[in-house]
Structure formats: C-alpha cells, structure tokens
A and B are shown apart, each in its own frame.
Chain A
C-alpha cells in the first residue's frame, strides 16, 4: 500500500513537471522565432510580436509556467489542493484559448484567406513558420497534460486515500 501511494505521488509530480517543461519550451520556442526576409524591395522581419495572437500565446504560457513551477512545491497533503482544482481549471482554460487563437492566426499565415485578399506569408519566411509550428505543438502537449491533471485532481477530491495507480 505504501509503495503504491508513493508511486502515485511520484507519477503526479512527474506529470506536473512535464507540464511545466512543455509550457516553458512553448514560450522559449515562440519567443525566439524571428526571421528576416526581403520581398521585392521590401525588407520585413517576421517576429512573434507582429501579431497579438502570438503575444497572447507567449503571455498565457508564461503565466502557466510560473503557476506550474509554484505548484511543484506544494506539499502533497496540504488542504490547498482544493483551491488547486479551481486554479487548474482557470489555467487550463487560458492555455486552451491561447493555443486556439495562435492556431487560427497561423492557419491564415500558412494558407491565406482568398475572400479577404490575405496572402499567405509562410512562403517568404519558412523558418519562422516552422518554429511557430513547433511552439504550437509544445503548447498542445501542455494542454493535454493539463487536462489529464484536471481529471487527476477530480480523482483526488473524490478519494483522498486513493489506492489505485495514477
């Protein structure tokens, strides 16, 4: 019994650490993405600050990174875990909306929009596009892990002396 609860605690800690790592890597990859290109006579630089959607993605993921870091140090039997369920919910919502927004804008950048006469830009800055894609993948992994953590929190609330594996 002792070893199973210990394994469960380690598993939970590992999940939280993975989520922290995923959001951190999403922030870093998105923030370091920039590329210069020259189209005809124009010299333009593609950075993540060009679009508010990518800025929102970076800000939301940094917030969740800080939260994930703080939660790693929460002692396992403290009564604050009930509050952690609510804050987990809010931060998961934030993550999901940020990744959905960045995905929407990235889709316009890749395919353009013929109805609004918006041309795709990925042909001119392929390295920027690839890096943004990588950041989005990291964000998606973080989102999935946070949803698993939410289910785990509900499980904890239901059965404080849970004896099953995580």
Chain B
C-alpha cells in the first residue's frame, strides 16, 4: 500500500500542469489600449485643415493665399504618430500572444519578454505624448518671449482634432501602465 501511495504521488508530480486560467482582465485591458492607441494614431495622422487667408487687396480684388496645416509640419507630431503606431502594433501582437496561449513558450521566457516589451512600449508611448502635449500647448498659447504667434485661433478644427488624439493617447498610457504592472506581477520568482 505504501508503494501504491508513492506511485500515486509520483504520477501527480509528473502529470501535465493544469492550464493556467485565461486572464480576461489583462486581455480586455490590452484590447482597450489597442483601440486607444490606434485611434490616437489615426486621428492625428488624418489631421489636416486648409484655410484661405486674404493677404492683400489690389483695387477691389482680394488676393487669397490658402495655407494648409498638416501633422507632418512638426517633428513632435510625427514622433507622436510613430510612437502611437508602434504602441498599437505592440498591443496587437500581445493580444495575439495572449490568445494563442502558452504554445509558443520557451522555458518560461515568455512572461519575462512580455514584461520587458510592455515596459518599453510604455516608455515609447509616454515619450510621444509628452512631446505632442507641449507642442500643441505652444500652438494654442504661443510664446510671447520668443515672439511665436499662436496658431489655434486660425486653425480651430486642426487644434481640436489634435487635442482629441492627445486625450486618446493619455487614456492609452493609463491603460498601458496598469497592463505593465500586471504583467510584471505575473512573474514568479524561481524558488
């Protein structure tokens, strides 16, 4: 009977470990973060406004010049679009990895890689955010000390759309922060 017990113990140790429960909270957070970063990228990338300005008047005919405001006029917004694009790609890949499950695991390295990549993603997204926030603040208020005029009074909808993209990006950063903390807490120490 003792040998039977030992056999049973051995069997239970060598059995396949039960599948870890799927973490729906983390998955839904990643989906939301993907939606937020993708929408921030799209809204900023399609941000364009053309306006006609009357420059001079010769006789009775006014001379109009049409000026366009696009996102790629400023390197800060270019970086914003690139950073949020990379972040949404990363979220997509992570959702795929979560759904496909532990099939692509190699000695438990998966969780470490996910945590490190999540951290780098967070850093990139917050960098893009910081630059775009202060650049749009400059566009909205101008800077009297450097004699830089504000441009938001002339290009209202451009500024508003940029602001909407920024808000989406802020929400994405908060979600990414929670996601990163959760992925780091999933790491277990080897005992």
Q: Which A positions have Cβ atoms within 8 angstroms of B?
A: 44-46, 50-53, 56, 85-86, 89-90, 92-93, 96-101, 103-105, 107-109, 113, 115-119, 121, 147, 150-151, 154, 157-160
Contact = CB atoms under 8 A, between A and B. Distances in A.
A117 B112 CA distance: 48
Contacts of B122: 89, 93
B33 to A, nearest CB: 15
Interface of B: 69, 73-76, 79, 112, 115-116, 119, 122-123, 126-135, 137-139, 143, 145-149, 151, 173, 177, 180-181, 184, 187-190
A116 B131 contact: no
Contacts, number: 112
12 contacts: A45-B145, A46-B145, A51-B145, A89-B177, A97-B126, A97-B127, A101-B133, A105-B135, A108-B138, A115-B73, A115-B74, A116-B73
B149 to A, nearest CB: 7
B74 A113 contact: yes
Contact of A160 (B73, B76, B129, B189): B189
Contacts of A116: 73, 139, 148-149, 151
Given A100-B130, A104-B76, A154 B149 contact: no
Contacts of B119: 89, 147, 150, 154
Nearest to B73: A115
Given A89-B119, A147-B119, 12 more contacts: A50-B145, A51-B134, A96-B130, A100-B126, A100-B130, A105-B138, A107-B75, A108-B74, A116-B148, A117-B149, A118-B146, A159-B189
